[in-house]
């Protein structure tokens, strides 16, 4: 199982990921697109990297906005897996 990151490690990782914020045991970002189709296309793009990583974001869609939340459930908090996938998702937006 991936190791939980310390508060300090989490802060350091967040410095490398502008737009992402910590909310307790998760990190999240709201991505905004031109319209609903843009939002859905973004969600479709992240399916393959999430499946490849075996790590899956919580996803909420509200017309042109997609909220992505990441946490490592089996570790009970944030691990390297969350930051790795967050970087990949950022690159797809």
Contact by Cβ (8 Å): 55, 15: no
Q: Does 54 bind ligand H2B (CB under 6 A)?
A: yes
Taking the least distance from each CB to ligand H2B, the nearer of 2 and 40 is 2
Taking the least distance from each CB to ligand H2B, the nearer of 31 and 79 is 79
Contact by Cβ (8 Å): 78, 7: no
Taking the least distance from each CB to ligand H2B, the nearer of 39 and 70 is 70
CA distance 73 to 38: 29
Q: Does 18 bind ligand H2B (CB under 6 A)?
A: no
Position among 41, 56, 65, 91 found at the interface with ligand H2B (CB under 6 A): 56
CA distance 35 to 1: 38
The binding site for ligand H2B (CB under 6 A) comprises 54-56, 70-74
């Amino acid at each position: 199982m991936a190791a939980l990151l310390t508060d300090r490690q989490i802060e350091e990782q967040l410095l490398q990921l502008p737009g992402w914020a910590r909310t307790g045991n998760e990190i999240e970002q709201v991505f905004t697109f031109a319209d609903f189709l843009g939002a859905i296309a973004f969600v479709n793009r992240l399916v393959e990297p999430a499946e490849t990583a075996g790590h899956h974001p919580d996803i909420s869609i509200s017309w042109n906005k997609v909220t992505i939340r990441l946490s490592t459930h089996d570790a009970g908090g944030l691990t390297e897996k969350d930051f790795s996938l967050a970087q990949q998702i950022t690159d797809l937006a």
